[in-house]
Structure 1
Amino acid sequence: MRRDSERGNGTADIHAGIAGERAVMLNSAIQASLQRARDLHERGALAEAQQLYRGVLTMEPNNATAQLLLGLLCDQTGDPAEAEKLLARGLQFERRCAWAFAAHGMVLAKLARYEAALVPIDEALRLDPNHAPAHVGHGNALLGLERYAQAQAAYERALTIAPKYAEAWSNRGNALRALGRPADALISFDRALQTAPHGFAVHTNRGHALRDLGRHEDALRSYQLALVVRPRVAGILSQCGSMLLMLGRDAEALASYDEALEIEPDDLDVLYNSCVALDLLHRHDELLTRCEQVLSRAPEHAAAWFGKANALHGLRREAEAAVAYGHALVLDPDLHTALSNQGVALRMLERYAEALENYDNALARVGAHAQLLVSRAHTLQQLGRFDDALASYEAAVAVEPTDADGWALRGRALQQLLRFDEAVECFHRVQELEPAKAGAHQEEAYCQLTIGNFAVGWRKYEYRWADPDAARSHRHPNRTLWLGKEPLAGKTVLLHSEQGYGDTLQLCRYASLVEARGASVVLEVPAPLKELLSSLRGGYRLVAIGEPLPDFELQTPLLSLPLAFNTDLQSIPAQVPYLYANAARIHTWGERLRARAPSGRLRVGLGWSGNSRHANDLNRSIKLSALAPLYALGATFISLHQEVRERDTAALAQSGLIHFGAELENFADTAALIANLDLVISVDTSVVHLAGALGKPVWVLLPSVPDWRWMLSRDDSPWYPTARLFRQGKPGDWPDVIERVARALAQRIAQNSRE
């Protein structure tokens, strides 16, 4: 028995010894694993370190060191929720580590649990008052609680301890931004970058400060640097888009928003911001589609209704646009731009009284408001109430004396009242208020040219390229511009169209002057004009826009040629004809006319409306029915329109006019038809320029304030010797113009009968 007892005690001792050895070995393995994990962690091999930490916790689930270090690693790899759990468990067993309490507080702050974050941070500071990360964590929690001044003080305490602590500098900048001190914040971010030049958050927040300061180019650069550190972050791409919009780089902004949407397609704010870019780019079909995408998710998004309305307006769907503007205003009654644009839609529908009533009601509700007063003035102009319009513009300027747009619109109203000197003064005022912008110089150019001050007018007209709409049609801007100074002998010069057909027909005459200086001329024109302009005398190479261009040294837009040749009233190259209809086409169109028109009667071509998208279309175009007083006269009337507006289709059917419509395939056909006529009568459209260039008698019906080329107070044109001008005596009085034309036409018919 004794031996058995001794044997039993010996076995127990052996087992105890083995267990002890195993415990020592396990502890040694744990310590080795922890040390290896720490080494990997410090070297940035985070995946391998994480695997080892988790291995330790498999062997010893309550190992505080492994829990705390793994929590720190999870925070570094972007998993703050898991980090918080691990740090909280580790701190149950290890209560002496200031860094662990500080790390727990920081993670809680990242999870927006700011009040809870203060508890471990206070413990960290109790354990070590000079622990800089704890002060940073304290600042982070205070920042989240919007206690910005206290947060700033906490960061500054951290910087007293650790002057090169990048996170403290960066977050101090965030606190200063929140306190409305972006310039001071920028200094703080720059200090952070001295220590951590590749900090994603620092570059991002520096961009925010620069944005606050209005330094959009610099802000964009900071956001782009952030994207270098961490590419394809949707929020930063969106910020880049916003800065690009502020810089007027709308297409680049759209590309940035589109890239952000590829990453986060459900981000409604970015989707709407892309709508803003599309609106500025006038890409109306895409704008409509995206606004409807926003509205499908957020039906009460007032700004999206506004964007949709702008798209419909751009697509000439004015009735729908007016309704959409109304939806925007129901959702946001203070969206005054929507009310203003709704008025534009109503004006396009010729519902002027409704537009005026809207503005008057709004002004009664909100009081004097510059934008509404300006829009009201626009409407009054359409009603022909120019004195009232001017009063409304002046009221707008009184509300916002430094509002450049108000002064510009006041200047335009003064033009309508033929008070050009005062209008020029308004445009000078705009130039003082906005010296970096060029629109007022262009407006002044129209005034100066209209009153015959060509020397100033041509020079000012070169500012047109600063206008965003004009800039979109600016071709070859990177090639050397010729404005009359450099010798041309032996050089090739590209002369190119830039605006409407009428401008090209009027100014292609300058090609001969360029050629006379010894240049080889390439003339780039819209495709519908190419065949006709082949009749222009000279050895030019003619190219349609879009076709390959030959090599050239210099280029000049056609509308810059009068400046290049210092054109004044005495030196306008006015010899006509300078364009010619094709003989075979003249014969063909003569046969068509003889088949449909009585012989022996005066043949009169009529034009009553131009491009509906022209900025001054409502003033220069008329309804076909307005010409009805001419029909009773003994002449044959021929429509010179290829297409007729819907509003005129019924009047055309009842008029008895000969209308060839789609048979007029291009300007060469129209020129041949005009060559078979005795007279052209038209409002200010390309037909007038075509008839004048062909040397055909043309009577031009003009509003009281015409386009600059028709000047003022004369019934002839220095540009077209065969033109006779019939001007409104007062704004909108087309009946008086038609009556005078009818009397003159009756005399012409009588003369034709005698001959």
Structure 2
Amino acid sequence: MSDPLVRTQANAQSQSQPTAFPFAPGPSGGAMRAAVDDALRNARTRLEQNDLVSARRLYEGVLTMAPDNIEALHLCGLVCLRQGDAVRAEPLIARSMHLGLRQPWNFANHAAALVGVGRHHDALAVTDAALKLDAVHPAVNAARGDALLGLERFDEAIAAYDAALQRAPGQPTAWSRRGAALRSLGRPADALISLDRALKIDSGDPATHIERGHTLRALERRDEALHHYQLATVVCGKTPALLHDSGVVLTEMGRATEALAVLDEGLKLAPHDKKLLYASCVALDQLHLREELLQRADRLLALDRNSTAAWVARGNALLGLDRHAEAAQAYSEALAHTPEHVDASRNCAAALRSLGRFEDALEHYERALSVASVNPELLYNRAVTLQQLGRYDEALTSHAEAARAPAETAQGLYTRAVALQQLGEHETALRDYERACERDPHHGAARRSEAYCRLLMGDFEKGWKQHEARWNATDVLLNRRHADRPLWLGAEPVAGKTVLLHAEQGYGDTLQFCRYASLVQAQGATVILEVPAGLAPLLGSLHGVSRIVSEADSTPAFDLQCPLMSLPLAFRTTLDTVPAETPYLLADAERREIWVQRVEAIAKPRRLKVGLAWSGNPRHNNDENRSLPFAALAPLLALDATFVCLQPQVRERDREALAASGVVSFGDVLADFADTAALVETLDLVISVDTSVVHLAGATGRPVWVLLPRAPDWRWLLEREDSPWYPTARLFRQTRPGDWPDVIGRVRDALIDTAQTHGYPV
């Protein structure tokens, strides 16, 4: 609603003939009249001093004595309007008009009150009537703009504001709401011009600061938007609405922890505010706090069982908790309410893929694509689903469509780059990763992928430097350890100092980069190595380490710290200087003897002994590309050899086939990586997809064949069958995305050649 035009009897006289407010005397005659006149004078003074509370009390008193006093009716209504109480204001102003007060400014105030109670059509009718009295009246045109703004007739609203501002350019509220209309039309840059005009007139107006915040958000100038929300908070205090706006923009800036704190403040003030609850769900999702997200989503559903957004949030929480069947059900509920909800269809497909229901997943991707058209993320995920269905040529076509799809958001650019890498177009992919980081500096996957793409292409100099930018992403920053202690990246001498090297990612990364410990020790440092508990026994054989602690142990004193995956940067590692001497890890001799006996007890005589790992951690972000079903190994298992399962955990989908295959599985006997290393040392060969087993075999110097997807992890580089990191490794790459049968066929031929070289039958 527009600022009502304040018209007391005194200021009315300055622009026209005096306006008489008729008085209906009560039974006490003159005394009553005197009391009323005195109250009206005092009320006018309070109103002119902007003491709205006192003015309202006085006008209410007059109306108690003289219920039809026109001046009291109108100005009490005006005061209520100024206080934000349009519900009380509207009938008072309407009554004053009914009793004969029908000047244009009176119509304008009535229209403002009607807008305030959401009666926009009635407000428009009131302003239309007023314009018949004065077609260019500024307040009436401004009120008409407010009514049209409420009706979302934005072009007409702008025209009305223009008419008002042409006659009275000093109206800050009209400028502000003109800006709101322009933003609603998708013209935020134009909106800023109007909003700046408003702030030049009234620099402290909170509504204008809020609207400027919304407009700056639309322009993706989020730091400035947050500043304006904070300026409004100084005036208005921490209202639920302002806390919501601040929390949302903080989430968009990648500052989800701060956002959640702000939104929780809002929820303390308004525990049942659905907008605040949903915004907190978004922040929790970004923070991967799945249990809390599930609770918030359920709180939202308790308020609104038909909320599509709440069902999607619940599905996201369940998907993150690996409760895939429940997640699929939650997304189905969302789709029941909003059948064309793209995110619900896409995420439901992801849950169904995790359940092995690939045909159903494909149907959901097609459903989402029918709404979103050429969306790179949907096309890419459809391609992966087609791979899982064995429809490799169709998958390749879908990857190509994803690579050609228009993309402007960071997520769209990131996904398009991933598809480009599936096609082998790594240079083009790199440009999309760079653009994604420009669009959203906090997009963790894009930041890491840009670095990994450079490393994959052999550009170690830029790749290692870019990799350090991973710490600017919210999802990695949450898990950063020892960030409050001095970081060593090779620049300063470490002789005589204690350096803590610590794991930051998976088991495989720890096994690969722990080799640098001896290089740090060679510079005169005392090295402490902090690793996951399951690796600690094996890494006790690592040269150059004074002490190994697990992440659950108390950390001993140290001077400097370095994450393991930052060590290649610290040592300025290039392809020619990779520290590739193996083995740098050794199995425990006693454990090895135990495993020799176990393997000899089950091994076929004069046959190859081959260890197998076909799937990794299902939570790995590229698991669907790097892992394969156990059944895909059937051509290998038909050969006459002893095959041993090296996976301590087998997925539900593979258990029955594994049990029937004849592959030896030691199950729970493999207690930790030290046991696995001892077992691997008894074997002739390890064949594995890209998991920690590969790194364990390579680190212990054992022959290992690595099965790689079309777009491999960065460490395996491009177009080569060997690895600078592991001299004993041989690489077998997909030629088409998802085409494991072709890879397994080549591995089978190589295995036959190896057996024949040893003089073994196959």
Shorter-chain-normalised TM-score: which range? Answer: 0.7 to 0.9
Tell me, what secondary structure is at the counterpart of 1:201?
A: helix
Q: What is the distance in 2 between the residues matched to 1:143 and 1:408?
A: 38
| Cα offsets for 1:214-250 (capped at 9, x unmatched) | 3333222222322332234333333333323332333
Tell me, what secondary structure is at the counterpart of 1:198?
A: coil
Which letter does structure 1 place at the counterpart of 2:205? G
* Equivalence for 1:110: 116
Tell me, what secondary structure is at the counterpart of 1:377?
A: helix
CA contact (8 A) 1:390 1:414 kept: no
Could you tell me how far 1:58 is from its partner in structure 2? 3.8
* Equivalence for 1:226: 232
* Equivalence for 1:427: 430
Could you tell me how far 1:341 is from its partner in structure 2? 4.1
* Pairing 1:378–2:384 present: yes
CA contact (8 A) 1:318 1:346 kept: yes
Could you tell me how far 1:516 is from its partner in structure 2? 1.9
Could you tell me how far 1:509 is from its partner in structure 2? 0.9
CA contact (8 A) 2:413 2:435 kept: no
Moved more, 122-131 or 453-462: 122-131
Q: What is the distance in 2 between the residues matched to 1:119 and 1:428?
A: 56
CA contact (8 A) 1:427 1:441 kept: no
* Equivalence for 1:736: 745
Tell me, what secondary structure is at the counterpart of 1:109?
A: helix
* Pairing 1:642–2:651 present: no
Which letter does structure 2 place at the counterpart of 1:702? L
The partner residue of 1:508 within 497, 505, 514 is 514
Could you tell me how far 1:502 is from its partner in structure 2? 0.9
Tell me, what secondary structure is at the counterpart of 1:495?
A: strand
* Pairing 1:559–2:565 present: yes
* Equivalence for 2:10: none
| Cα offsets for 1:371-427 (capped at 9, x unmatched) | 55433333344456555434333344555387887776676556556x4xx432443
* Pairing 1:79–2:85 present: yes
Q: What is the distance in 2 between the residues matched to 1:435 and 1:134?
A: 46
Tell me, what secondary structure is at the counterpart of 2:704?
A: strand
* Pairing 1:579–2:585 present: yes
| Cα offsets for 1:329-360 (capped at 9, x unmatched) | 56545444444444444443444455556656
Q: What is the distance in 1 between the residues matched to 2:146 and 2:371?
A: 46
CA contact (8 A) 1:68 1:90 kept: yes
Q: What is the distance in 2 between the residues matched to 1:339 and 1:118?
A: 42
CA contact (8 A) 1:121 1:138 kept: yes
Could you tell me how far 1:500 is from its partner in structure 2? 0.9
* Equivalence for 1:204: 210
CA contact (8 A) 2:697 2:704 kept: no
Tell me, what secondary structure is at the counterpart of 2:543?
A: coil
Tell me, what secondary structure is at the counterpart of 1:87?
A: helix
Which letter does structure 1 place at the counterpart of 2:708? P
Q: What is the distance in 2 between the residues matched to 1:163 and 1:276?
A: 41
Could you tell me how far 1:510 is from its partner in structure 2? 0.5
CA contact (8 A) 2:272 2:303 kept: no
* Equivalence for 1:188: 194
Which letter does structure 1 place at the counterpart of 2:740? G
CA contact (8 A) 1:450 1:707 kept: yes
Could you tell me how far 1:123 is from its partner in structure 2? 8.9
CA contact (8 A) 1:437 1:466 kept: no
Q: What is the distance in 1 between the residues matched to 2:34 and 2:462?
A: 92
Could you tell me how far 1:702 is from its partner in structure 2? 1.5
Tell me, what secondary structure is at the counterpart of 2:647?
A: coil
Q: What is the distance in 1 between the residues matched to 2:413 and 2:489?
A: 31
Could you tell me how far 1:323 is from its partner in structure 2? 5.3
Could you tell me how far 1:607 is from its partner in structure 2? 3.4
Tell me, what secondary structure is at the counterpart of 1:400?
A: coil
Could you tell me how far 1:265 is from its partner in structure 2? 4.3
* Equivalence for 2:176: 170
Structure 2 counterparts to residues 400-411 of structure 1, below 5 A: 400=406
Q: CA 1:700–1:42 in 2, change beyond 3 Å: closer, same or farther? A: same
CA contact (8 A) 1:411 1:424 kept: no
Tell me, what secondary structure is at the counterpart of 1:498?
A: coil
* Equivalence for 2:707: 702
* Equivalence for 2:13: none
CA contact (8 A) 2:400 2:420 kept: no
| Cα offsets for 1:567-586 (capped at 9, x unmatched) | 34443223333334456666
* Pairing 1:279–2:288 present: no
Structure 2 counterparts to residues 163-562 of structure 1, below 5 A: 164-177=170-183, 181-291=187-297, 294=300, 301-322=307-328, 325=331, 328-329=334-335, 332-352=338-358, 355-356=361-362, 372-383=378-389, 388-398=394-404, 400=406, 412=418, 415-416=421-422, 419=424, 422-428=425-431, 431=434, 435=438, 442-443=448-449, 446=452, 449-450=455-456, 452=458, 454-455=460-461, 457-459=463-465, 461-462=467-468, 464-465=470-471, 469-476=475-482, 481-545=487-551, 547=553, 549=555, 554-562=560-568
Q: CA 1:437–1:463 in 2, change beyond 3 Å: closer, same or farther? A: farther
Q: What is the distance in 1 between the residues matched to 2:619 and 2:508?
A: 14
* Equivalence for 1:613: 619
Q: CA 1:427–1:556 in 2, change beyond 3 Å: closer, same or farther? A: same
* Equivalence for 2:15: none
Structure 2 counterparts to residues 678-717 of structure 1, below 5 A: 680-695=686-701, 697-703=702-708, 705=710, 706-711=712-717, 717=723
CA contact (8 A) 1:701 1:726 kept: yes
Q: Identity of aligned pairs, percent?
A: 49
Q: What is the distance in 2 between the residues matched to 1:471 and 1:209?
A: 29
Tell me, what secondary structure is at the counterpart of 1:229?
A: helix
Moved more, 723-732 or 638-647: 723-732
Structure 2 counterparts to residues 132-143 of structure 1, below 5 A: 133=139, 136-141=142-147, 143=149
Which letter does structure 2 place at the counterpart of 1:377? A
* Equivalence for 2:23: none
* Equivalence for 1:9: none
Which letter does structure 2 place at the counterpart of 1:190? D
Q: CA 1:506–1:118 in 2, change beyond 3 Å: closer, same or farther? A: closer
CA contact (8 A) 1:374 1:406 kept: no
Q: CA 1:132–1:311 in 2, change beyond 3 Å: closer, same or farther? A: same
Tell me, what secondary structure is at the counterpart of 2:254?
A: coil
CA contact (8 A) 2:332 2:348 kept: yes
Where do 5+ consecutive residues of structure 1 fail to align?
Answer: 1-19
CA contact (8 A) 2:416 2:432 kept: no
CA contact (8 A) 1:507 1:559 kept: yes
Could you tell me how far 1:558 is from its partner in structure 2? 1.8
| Cα offsets for 1:652-711 (capped at 9, x unmatched) | 44456665544544334444555666765544322332233334x343341364544345
| Cα offsets for 1:289-330 (capped at 9, x unmatched) | 544555566555555444444444333344454555555556
* Equivalence for 2:17: none
Q: Supply the RMSD in Å over aligned alpha carbons.
A: 4.7
Which letter does structure 2 place at the counterpart of 1:428? R
CA contact (8 A) 2:706 2:729 kept: no
